[in-house]
Amino acid sequence: MASINLIESFQEFKDAENIDRPTLMKVMEDVFKTLIRKKYGSDENFDVIVNDQKGDLEIFRRRTIVDDDDLYNTLTEIEYKDAIKIEPDYQVGEELYEEVDIQKEFGRRAILAGKQTLASRINDLKKNILIKKYEDRVGEIVSGEVYQVWKKEILLLDEEGNEMLLPKSEQIPSDYFKKGETIRAVVKKVELKNSQAVIIVSRTDPSFLAKLLEIEVPEIFDGLIVIRKIVRDPGERAKVAVESFDDRIDPVGACVGMKGSRIHGIVRELKNENIDVINWTNNIQLLIQRSLTPAKITSMEVDNEAKHANVFLKPDQVSLAIGRRGVNIKLACELTGLEIDVFRDNEGEVEEYDVDLEEFTDEIESWIIDELKKIGCDTAKSVLQLSDEELERRTDLEKETITEVKKILKEEFETE
């Protein structure tokens, strides 16, 4: 049989639906023209014809008929006496088209090598198409079905069966997924590892929250509201600064929705992550005040050159400003770009004798003092005012440690 069947290779093309037909035909021709050049030295007078329905490939050779004993180039010419053996009606000067017996001319080994080269070219095309597709989708939300769950990452398959990786570092701490579940995430980057395209998706990147807001809030999608900045402690808390280009639109109200209708779905998607939506402003003092929500600030001192701010609050507001495990103040620092220190404002109150926790560094380890400061306790009395249970709940300190710390602090006042 003069033609060879490449239906298996064609099937690989059909599986990669994004490979267009002209590209398919060109690759097939290129692979077998390479075989022709190796065999004959040139492919100029050969035509490679691909039947894209059946998967057949045929090669035709064109030669000019010349007078007998007038042959100069065996590659492009054929003598009249040999031409009429193929077809008696041929005349000198005409072109003879002859189908090449591929199996006979090239041999099984060369054809097998050609098929392998073709398969390799197909894989390269698939890889390049996949890279281009997902490079254009970086920052967009995609859905994938959980195919395999490993300790350090989850393998997802998109709707076309392409593989995506969700590393542990890009998962919300409370994320738990089983095989077959559908996950939404944002495309973070596309990498090449061992010549394979690796699509990395994320659920912790700020752009994931930004895209969720864009889906839920039409005003953001339409460009009437713009997201100025997002900072996150994934699964714990997020702060979103928004600004409206239309004075009639309240950006915070639009993002939250009636009775929280718009934000609730996002909170559920992010595993109950608290989301503070605030109005963006270029007034740095106002931005600090808004970024420390829900705490209410009494006064502040801002040093723009040093990128530092001292914030003073009433004692009952300090823990709100700092937040659980110091998350609220950490995010406020990231949002404003300033280092913020929180202090108690005792103005207007009868000042009692108190001692700064730093005075106890010779008796209490510094890491314990840091833990207490994270929850707004920077003096001895601020620690003693809290119950053992509350201290244990709000810090990483053990009950025995809390008891010992309180004992040391109480002794200070008993001595006085």
CATH number at residue 229: 3.30.300.20
Q: Same structural domain for residues 221 and 263?
A: yes
pLDDT band at 11 (very low <50, low <70, confident <90, very high): low
- Please write the tens of the pLDDT for every residue from 28-61: 778 888 888 887 888 888 888 777 665 567 888 8
CA angle 107, 108, 109 (to 5 degrees): 95
CATH of the domain at 174: 2.40.50.140
pLDDT in the model for residue 258: 87
In the structure, what pLDDT confidence band is assigned to residue 237 with cuts at 50, 70 and 90?
A: very high
Within a domain: 346: no
In this structure, is residue 304 part of a structural domain?
Answer: no
Per-residue pLDDT at 172 = 94
Is residue 127 within 8 Å of residue 119, measured between CB atoms? Answer: no
**End position of a domain, from candidates 150, 173, 202:** 202
Which of 248, 280, 312 delimits the end of a domain? 280
Residue 294, preceding bond cis, omega within 30 degrees? yes
pLDDT of 353 reads 62
What is the distance of C-alpha 237 from the center of its chain? 20
- What is the model's pLDDT at position 356? 76
State the pLDDT at residue 38: 83
Tens of pLDDT, residue by residue over 148-203, are: 999 999 999 988 888 899 999 999 999 999 999 999 999 999 887 877 788 999 99
| Number of separate domains in the chain | 4
Percent of the chain with pLDDT over 90: 30
Q: Where are the alpha helices (DSSP H) in 99-161?
A: 102-106, 108-135
Pair 139, 186: CB distance under 8 Å: yes
Does one domain contain both 8 and 128?
yes
Question: Which of 220, 249, 280 is the last residue before a domain boundary?
Answer: 280
Token pair in block for residue 277? 């939506």
Counting residues of the chain whose pLDDT is more than 70, the rounded percentage is 91
Stretch 386-399: mean pLDDT, rounded?
83
- Listed in order, strand segments (DSSP E) in 345-388 are none
In a domain, 105, yes or no: yes
Q: What is the pLDDT of residues 311-330, one digit of tens each?
A: 888 887 887 888 877 889 99
In this predicted structure, the answer to whether residue 96 has a pLDDT above a threshold of 80 is yes
- Residues 145, 177: contact at Cβ < 8 Å? no
Residues 114 and 145 in one domain: no
Determine, yes or no, domain membership for 218. Answer: yes
pTM of the model: 0.64
Question: What span, in angstroms and rounded, lies between the C-alpha atoms of 296 and 290?
Answer: 9
One domain for residues 127 and 89:
yes
Same domain, 192 and 77: no
Note whether 148 and 249 are same-domain residues: no
Measure the N-to-C terminal CA separation of the chain; round to a whole number of Å: 108
Does some domain include residue 81? Answer: yes
Domain membership of residue 74 (yes or no) is yes
Domain-embedded: residue 30: yes
**166 plus 190 within the same structural domain:** yes
- Residue linked to tokens 């009429």: 84
Q: Give residue 4's pLDDT band: very low, low, confident or very high (50, 70, 90).
A: low
Tell me, yes or no, whether 115 and 148 share the same domain: no
On the question of pLDDT at 343 being above 60, the answer is yes
Average pLDDT, the chain: 83
**For the chain, what is the radius of gyration of the CA atoms?**
37
Q: Is residue 341 part of a domain?
A: no
96 and 20: one domain?
Answer: yes
Domain range for 61 is 4-132
The pLDDT of residue 351 is: 46
DSSP for 178-223, written as a single string: -TT-EEEEEEEEEEEETTEEEEEEESSSHHHHHHHHHHH-HHHHTT
Q: Are residues 85 and 150 in the same domain?
A: no
Same domain (yes/no): 108, 164: no
What digits encode the pLDDT tens for the residues 346-372? 654 444 567 778 778 878 888 888 888
User: Which of the four pLDDT bands, split at 50, 70 and 90, describes residue 240?
Assistant: very high
Give me the count of residues in the chain.
Answer: 416
